[in-house]
Amino acid sequence: MSTTRRQFLRTAALATAGAAATPLLRTHAAQPPLTNPKSPILPSASDSLPNPKSPIQNPKSPNLLFFFPDQMRRHAMGFTHEDPVITPHIDRFATQSLYLPQTTATFPVCTPWRGMMMTGRFPTATGLINNCNSTRPNLYLRREERCITDVLHDAGYHIGYIGKWHLTRPRAPYLPQGPGRTDGIAWDEFTPPEDRHHIDHWHAYNAYDEHLAPRYWDTHSSRDAHRTYDEWSPQHETDRAIAYLENTAGKHRDPAKPFALWLSMNPPHPPYNQVPGRYRDHYKGKTAADLLRRPNVRLEAAGKPAATAVADYFAAITGVDEQFGRILATLDRLKLSDDTIVVFTSDHGDMMGSHALMGKPHPYDEALNTPFLIRWPGRIKAAATDDLLLSAPDLMPTLLGLMHLRAQIPPQVQGADHSPILLGHDSAPRPAYAPYMDSTAGGHRGLRTHTHTLCLAKQNHPTEPPVRLYDNRTDPYQLRNIATETPALVATLTAETRRWLARVGDPWT
Ligand code: CA
């Protein structure tokens, strides 16, 4: 293990106590705030973790199905009883899964999150510090990065990727963009096979927001051979994923290999209104007041569009839920469920009128706090909740840890392997905070603990305070900035933020 990674784990493992898993839906015991600067530093994971003596009975490598809609906030899962959204399949899946309600997007924007998910590294390390499009020709996932798919390939996996990619830079001459794209900026692009990081089965696109007329490239398509389909993209992608899972006559994958399939859906990402009427019907007659129940919603300024968008946002989520249900039913039908790790998550949330904002990137929970449910029957506890502060760079090492590939985690990975926690080793070290960042030039840095969110702005920001601190226990809607009242806590969390920035080489300060 490299010095960098060791240091990272050592610092990221600031102790928090009493974080054992609790049953699903039980109100979670709040963690003490990180007020004591002398918080003990745990040894690094490699020093202290029980090298998990695999309790595995079956030496077979598990399959992975990584399902992630775009821009779906944690609150938009019915079982959370937060948003009034209809998600019966996710709700049922939660009863079979471990739920990590404190999961955060780290950098709640498409490309940065996808880069962290693929590489286990922060955007400042990979250069993926904003969305890929034609205005940022140097921003793309480098061929030299070692991604989770590269590791899985070397471990003998067959790898599929279906849906939105958004890690490729558009190249001139630019391809025609969708009819909804009127800003003259190119977003969509062909991803050459050598830039796919060993993904074997490809039915994907870069960034193309035409949910009812999506277009894709296949594994062997040339750049000009993209094809548009007259279907809602999640339905189309689910059909493709089911075909991949069924693998009739070995057409899509090598049946002798374990598989890892990413299913990356664009909805509920805008344009919100591109959603089939059959899902919109679920919310017919509901007013904005019926649907926007969060007390921090202000339908003014930038938050105004939420009044009309929210029904469509929830309708898209109900549609995504239906597709997720089809995937789960397919795994059952093919008797793959027991051998497949299924993850349900999203790259970030959506403000949807909260704090008079829409979309992302913002330090508030509506944008930052993402769904995370993981199921592995017999291995990961079902119908359970754990308050692990899971960050986006942790996804890759944690999944590799679960898949018996801990030794193959690349040394340059900056995230932590939390697989021991997911497998029930309650004494494993836990992070005391999850970092937060958004755009690099101006933008913000901060962190979210189990109890508080700190957000630091550049001093020259004209419309907001340089420091925001929220107590998420007493003020879950983050309505009251307590920064001036709690200078000691601000100082502690600011110092921790600066240590993190220094560790990952972020030049923001
Ligand atoms: Ca996104």
Boundary (domain end) residue, out of 373, 398, 431 = 431
Which residue, among 114, 106, 103, has the nearest Cα to 66 in the 3D structure? 114
Same domain, 422 and 441: no
471 falls within a domain = yes
Same domain, 121 and 111: yes
- Centre of ligand 1 to C-alpha 406, Å, is 28
| Distance of alpha carbon 155 from the chain centroid | 24
Task: Give the pLDDT score at 426.
Answer: 84
Mean pLDDT by 10 residues, the chain (509 residues): 39 33 30 33 34 47 98 98 98 98 98 98 95 97 98 98 98 95 95 98 98 98 98 98 98 97 98 98 97 98 97 98 98 98 98 97 97 98 98 98 98 97 94 91 90 90 87 98 98 96 87
Close Cβ partners of 65 (under 8 Å, ≥ 6 residues apart) = 260, 261, 263, 327, 331, 340, 341, 342, 343
- Centre of ligand 1 to C-alpha 331, Å, is 27
Task: Give the pLDDT score at 440.
Answer: 63
- Centre of ligand 1 to C-alpha 114, Å, is 8
201 falls within a domain = yes
Instruction: Give, as residue ranges, everything with CB less than 5 Å from ion ligand 1.
Output: 70, 110, 347
Domain that holds residue 480: 1-25+432-509
Task: Give the pLDDT score at 3.
Answer: 37
- Centre of ligand 1 to C-alpha 110, Å, is 4
Q: Whose structure tokens read 């039915």? A: 203
CATH code for the domain in which residue 95 is found: 3.40.720.10
Which residue, among 72, 104, 113, has the nearest Cα to 321 in the 3D structure? 72
For residue 223, what are its two tokens? 């750049």
227 falls within a domain = yes
Cα distance between residue 409 and residue 147, in whole Å = 10
Same domain, 275 and 206: yes
Residue 234 burial by CB count (10 A; 0-12/13-18/19+): exposed, middle or buried?
buried
Same domain, 362 and 457: no
Task: Give the pLDDT score at 30.
Answer: 33
- Centre of ligand 1 to C-alpha 346, Å, is 8
Give 79's DSSP letter.
Answer: G
- Centre of ligand 1 to C-alpha 349, Å, is 8
Cα distance between residue 119 and residue 107, in whole Å = 14
CB 153 within 8 A of CB 198: yes
Cα distance between residue 374 and residue 380, in whole Å = 8
Task: Give the pLDDT score at 439.
Answer: 79
Same domain, 457 and 380: no
Phi then psi dihedrals of residue 50, to 5 deg: -60, 120
Same domain, 402 and 469: no
User: What are the E-state strand segments in 41-188?
Assistant: 63-69, 98-99, 158-164
Boundary (domain end) residue, out of 431, 463, 490 = 431
- Centre of ligand 1 to C-alpha 350, Å, is 9
Same domain, 453 and 312: no
- Centre of ligand 1 to C-alpha 266, Å, is 8
- Centre of ligand 1 to C-alpha 40, Å, is 36
For residue 435, what are its two tokens? 């970092």
- State the DSSP H helix or E strand holding residue 12, giving kind and residue range, or none if neither: helix 3-12
- Centre of ligand 1 to C-alpha 109, Å, is 5
Length of the chain: 509
Task: Give the pLDDT score at 303.
Answer: 97
Cα distance between residue 387 and residue 29, in whole Å = 9
Count of structural domains within the chain: 2
Close Cβ partners of 335 (under 8 Å, ≥ 6 residues apart) = none
CATH code for the domain in which residue 474 is found: 3.30.1120.10
Total-model pTM: 0.89
For residues 143-155, one letter each, b for 16 or more C-beta atoms within 10 angstroms of the residue's C-beta and e for the rest, the string is: eebbbbbbbbbeb
Which strands form 22-23's sheet, in the order they lie side by side? 22-23, 384-385, 98-99, 372-375, 340-345, 63-69, 259-265, 158-164, 201-205, 215-218, 227-228
- Centre of ligand 1 to C-alpha 158, Å, is 26
Same domain, 219 and 189: yes
Cα distance between residue 81 and residue 331, in whole Å = 27
Task: Give the pLDDT score at 22.
Answer: 28
33 falls within a domain = no
Cα distance between residue 194 and residue 204, in whole Å = 15
- Centre of ligand 1 to C-alpha 344, Å, is 15
Same domain, 123 and 157: yes
Which strands form 452-457's sheet, in the order they lie side by side? 434-437, 444-448, 452-457, 467-471
CB 408 within 8 A of CB 147: no
CB 199 within 8 A of CB 159: yes
CB 373 within 8 A of CB 32: no
Same domain, 95 and 200: yes
- Centre of ligand 1 to C-alpha 386, Å, is 25
- Centre of ligand 1 to C-alpha 132, Å, is 12
- Centre of ligand 1 to C-alpha 414, Å, is 22
Boundary (domain end) residue, out of 398, 431, 464 = 431
